[in-house]
Amino acid sequence: MGTWICHLRVAERLLPRLVEEEVRPLDEVAFAFGSLAPDSGRPNEGWDAFDPPKSVTHFLTPDSSEEDKIEDTRFYEGYLQESDELTTADYAFALGYFFHLLCDNLWSRKVWRPTATALAD
């Protein structure tokens, strides 16, 4: 998965385009926080588990611990599809969160999986 700085850089590149579209006002700070939120679980003492777990924060397919099973569309349908009732800040946060999930999904499919396959030996 991408690092936190990777997610901030993606948010930085997306923000001007999203603001330019002017579909609805966008809270830039909330968008940045949303782009980091999925990786903001509280670590245990050994830093090998987080609360909440990645299966929750990254909307992994139920009964799957595989990081390439992110259900970004489930997040979209649950939090963004009917977004008219969200405040400007809540909408921006959710949009940043969604782009984080998309980014992780793309990274997993385009970088991690091919690399793991190519270097399986």
Q: 0.85 exceeded by the pTM?
A: yes
Q: Tens digit of pLDDT for each residue in 46-103?
A: 999 999 998 899 999 876 656 558 899 999 999 999 888 999 999 999 999 999 999 9
Nearest to 102 by CA among 76, 64, 81, 79: 76
Which of 20, 58, 13 is closest to 39 using CA atoms? 58
